Structure 1
């Protein structure tokens, strides 16, 4: 059985009528979780009212549940005339000992938030409890008004009050059903899911305001942003923006689509290495055993820092409905082009180590200085061990790919084959091709083609893109300068999984 999560505002009168806010929107609870308004779409009364999430202590029922701008508002009734514990809880609420509300639910869709916690987008609401200390500081009992169920002097139920209550409950259910029908209709329309996905979150709205106004943003927007560890005091881009930048980078840096990509919060990552295999030998019963010269070491991979800034006119920031889209496009192109070049040819030091610059990667001689030979490509492919060969891909630029497309084998078959199925790559000698614009051109002594298992090339990304808005230094020209920094690194972890083609006669 899935674990039921609990989150926890509340008032009660002498007859047990209780109202409150079970979950305020636009703010996180003590564990960093935020529940979106749409997550409560299926929260339909009646719902059990429990004492501190104890399923053996049902003390009442919630018969009104409403999703409002303020939060998830409730109205229910403690069964004070029927349940002893309900009378005790009512006394504690009136005395101030239990003033919190807490929801018990199962999260069905959630995303991680920067700085900890989750953004819960969908859930199944199981119950709502009265508690002493709620998970959300804003979840509390709010008022204690008139009796929900009046009784006549002889102790019999007031039928008129009961009929009124039933009518109110039926009306509330009808309103909620109409709202759910509208949500369902929207979801069934073409592009319905996309429309909901594209709705900007509170964090994204706050980030857009930060781009426009810098440090002059409101306190509410400031709370929605995550303060980064940037010594200059910048802010991390919200989750939606950061993930979109990563997707855009694949266009400029296709190695990300085949390399092994990891995320780290550490300043560096150390990988153990093994230099050889053990040297086992056959021997007789009394022969001396021989040791192995196998060597173990380590390789440290450190994220490198890349930074830039873009200038945007204040008029554009004021007029554009989503100015952060312009920022994303500029940063994606600049960061993407720079890292693509470094992942291929980077020499290390302040930049990542490119796989073409690794000194231990072996090569196959082409047999001609300026004309690629089909036999050389076949030799290169089968020079790798079968395990690596069967997971490898070809890396070359568009100019070289144009030359390879004209090549045939001895039976007149083209070495290059197009993709006949959507989502499948084109191939050379049956293996996928990844076009990398920064690979060398065909010329004497160059290495224009590399084949390998690119899972042995490790890319590490440290945190997200950080931005710092400067509306002051360029203010006289009507410009806001937005600085951006990203830390990413790359290196070959196992050179034996790669092999290059050298353009030489011998």
Structure 2
């Protein structure tokens, strides 16, 4: 399907959705049955979601081409080329002569007491880029490389006091800002993809690309769940696992996220979504993104403002994402569904609010013995995640259902 045709189909599907939903609402007002229209809406909504998925794939390919493909960060140094070649021999044949020394020169990493070898820098980047494609949180959060798990950030918990004075008025001493440390919660991820020796002996088999793809799939599922709702025990702490309160920014304690109630009924309303947006200070709102489960979208697409305009709009231009109240939407399957007391929608500047820290040095331990005739590649990485600025992310708590 050509991009132009795709966009036309997406726009047409949304027009059909609006037309059908408007007819449904008229029947509801008259007390008439709507079963046939509900079924039609579900089918049109499914078509919209499928078209959006195709468009995201095309946009991702365009981004990849623009940056010159995976790992396209310029020429490799001599040490990096040697390390890459040695690692390739290790993967295919298990030959590791001189690999530790080349690893140390190319990456400035020490030996791992648990064994295994660090992957070449290019392969490390490829894994991260593949994960970004499959981990919604990586696409919206602040992602940084770190050398170890000692990363901490200082934040100001209270500004120094000041005021207005005249030219000759005395200047009283200002208060000292109170600083506090915040840090991601770290843990170790592992994957153990397996290949046959026959595959590895095939000169046309790209062993590094295979490893990157297999590992990224395993890591991605675990990472997004942790960054969203992880408990922080031997893993990242998700933003949904922090304490929550309905108190405003000037009253909540550090590390507690504010929630906004959706109202009395277990449903979403336009007013509640506006309240969620404006619970953020202006500086955060400017770069705000909605985060919600893809299964919440059918309800979102039906919402209108007071003038009858739909709140959700499809992204019809190249690289343009769908929006809710003119703010981008990130679909995250690890977000709760709309139900009583669920924190079903988040909105915030996640670049400022949440940090993902990748510890340099994905490591691989080659195992040709445990599951013959397969060769296992036990791959590990350390990664952390946590809320850095609890004023930058707000949550919507769904109210209790009417009795």
Both structures adopt the same fold (TM-score exceeding 0.5):
yes
Cα separation, partners in 2 of 1:218 and 1:347, compared to 1, 3 Å: closer
Contact preservation (8 Å) 1:210, 1:217:
yes
Q: Which has the higher contact order (CA 8 A, sep 6+)?
A: 2
Give CA deviations for 1:141-173 in whole Å, capped at 9, x if unaligned.
xxxxxxxxxxxxxxxxxxxxxxxxxxxxxxxxx
- Provide the residue aligned with 1:352 in structure 2: 236
- SS of residue matched to 2:379: strand
Counterpart of 1:335? 219
Of residues 87, 103, 117 in structure 2, which corresponds to 1:207? 87
Distance in 2 (CA, whole Å) between partners of 1:112 and 1:361 is 43
- 1:331-371 Cα shifts (integer Å, max 9, x gaps): 11111110111111111131111112222110110014421
Matching of residues 30-429 of structure 1 within 5 Å? 111=75, 203-214=83-94, 216-217=95-96, 225=103, 229-281=111-163, 289=172, 292=175, 294-301=177-184, 303-319=186-202, 321-359=205-243, 360-429=256-325
Q: TM-score, normalised by structure 1?
A: 0.56
Q: Deviations over 1:116-156 (max 9, x none)?
A: x876xxxxxxxxxxxxxxxxxxxxxxxxxxxxxxxxxxxxx
CA deviation after TM superposition for structure 1 residue 297, in Å: 1.8
Counterpart secondary structure, 1:317: helix
CA contact (8 A) 1:110 1:118 kept: no
2-structure distance, mates of 1:383, 1:271: 25
1:368-393 deviations in Å (ceiling 9; x for gaps):
44211111001111111111111111
Gaps of 5+ in 1: 1-108, 120-200
Distance 1:209 1:290 in 2: 66
Partner of residue 441, structure 1: 337
For residue 123 of structure 2, give the secondary structure of its aligned residue in structure 1: helix
Q: SS in structure 2 opposite 1:412?
A: coil
Per the alignment, in what secondary structure is the counterpart of residue 482 of structure 1? strand
In structure 2, relative to structure 1, the CA distance for the partners of 1:365 and 1:314 (3 Å cut) is: same
Structure 2: distance between partners of 1:363 and 1:374: 16
Q: What residue number does 1:462 align with?
A: 359
CA distance in 1 between counterparts of 2:369 and 2:307 reads: 69
Pick closer, same or farther for the CA change 1:333–1:505 going to 2, 3 Å: same
Structure 1: distance between partners of 2:136 and 2:323? 16
Determine the C-alpha separation between the residues in 1 that align with 2:125 and 2:339: 39
Distance 1:343 1:267 in 2: 16
> Over the residues paired in the alignment, what is the CA RMSD in angstroms?
2.7
Structure 2 residue runs without a partner (length 5+):
1-72, 244-255
Cα deviation, residue 205, structure 1: 4.2
